[in-house]
């Protein structure tokens, strides 16, 4: 009887480990799904980092030089210098 009990216990343990591998909290499908979520989040983080770097550069330019301020005033607000004529073309 002992000869049959050991293999049954070992098979039960193997089944438990195998079930944990496929159905448990750290199962392979769950790990793959989480890895895909991490990849998506890393891509979003990279886009946000690029936007942050662009904005940081723009803030630095605004603090350091007046060229950027003048460019923004001309393009966004339509401001002109004294004795300058503003001409705007509209496409047909």
- Interval 59-84: pLDDT, tens: 887 788 777 777 777 778 777 778 87
Phi, psi (degrees; rounded to nearest 5) at 61: -60, -40
Specify whether the CB–CB gap between 52 and 46 falls below 8 A: no
Q: What is the percent of the chain where pLDDT is above 90?
A: 27
Question: 12 or 78, which is more confident?
Answer: 12
Mean pLDDT, residues 49-63 taken together: 89
Q: Report pTM.
A: 0.51
Question: 72 or 45, which is more confident?
Answer: 45
């Amino acid at each position: 009887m002992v000869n049959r009990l050991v293999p049954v216990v070992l098979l039960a343990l193997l089944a438990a480990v195998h079930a944990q591998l496929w159905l448990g909290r750290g199962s392979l499908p769950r790990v793959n799904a989480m890895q895909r979520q991490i990849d998506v989040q890393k891509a979003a983080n990279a886009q946000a980092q690029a936007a942050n770097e662009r904005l940081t550069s723009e803030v630095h330019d605004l603090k350091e030089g007046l060229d950027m301020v003048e460019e923004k005033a001309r393009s966004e607000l339509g401001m002109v210098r004294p004795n300058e004529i503003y001409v705007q073309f509209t496409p047909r």
